[in-house]
Amino acid sequence: MDAKSKKQLEELRTSSRSEHATLLMPSSDAIAPRTLGQRMANTITAVIGTWTFIIIQTIIIIGWTGYNLLMGKSGFDPYPFILLNLFLSFQAAYTAPAIMMSQKREGEVDRYRAEIASNVNVKSNLEMYAQHDKIDYLEGDIVTSIKEQLADISRQLEDIKRQQRPQ
2-39 pLDDT per residue, tens: 677 677 767 766 766 666 565 556 555 556 677 888 88
Q: How would you classify residue 15: left for phi > 0, otherwise alpha for psi between -120 and 50, otherwise beta?
A: alpha
Residue 78: left (phi > 0), alpha (psi -120 to 50), or beta? beta
Cα dihedral across residues 33, 38, 43, 48: positive or negative: negative
Q: d(Cα 13, Cα 7) in Å, to the nearest integer?
A: 10
Q: How many domains does the chain have?
A: 1
The answer to whether residue 80 is domain-embedded is: yes
On whether the pTM is more than 0.85, the answer is no
* pLDDT, position 167: 63
Amino acid 22: pLDDT: 59
Contacts of residue 1, defined as CB under 8 A and 6 or more positions apart, other chains included, come to 9, 129, 130, 133
pLDDT on residue 17: 61
Residue 159 has pLDDT above 70, yes or no: yes
pLDDT at 7: 73
Q: Which residues make Cβ contacts (< 8 Å) with residue 133, sequence separation at least 6?
A: 1
Residue 43 maps to a domain: yes
Task: Answer yes or no: is 108 within a domain.
Answer: yes
Q: Is residue 124's pLDDT more than 60?
A: yes
Other residues' Cβ atoms within 10 Å of the Cβ of residue 63 = 10
Tell me the average pLDDT of the chain: 85
Whether 41 is covered by a domain: the verdict is: yes
Distance CA 98, CA 92 (A): 10
List the domain range (segments joined by +) for residue 99. 9-164
Under the banding of pLDDT at 50, 70 and 90, the label for residue 116 is confident
Residues 149 and 59: their CA atoms lie apart, in Å, by 88
Give the pLDDT confidence score for residue 60 in this predicted structure: 97
132: pLDDT strictly greater than 60: yes
70, pLDDT greater than 90: yes
Q: Which of 14-18, 86-90, 122-126 has the lowest mean pLDDT?
A: 14-18
Q: Buried (b) or exposed (e) across 36-62, using 16+ Cβ within 10 A?
A: eebeebbebbeeeeeeeeeeeeeeeee
Q: Does a structural domain hold residue 2?
A: no
Give residue 115's pLDDT: 87
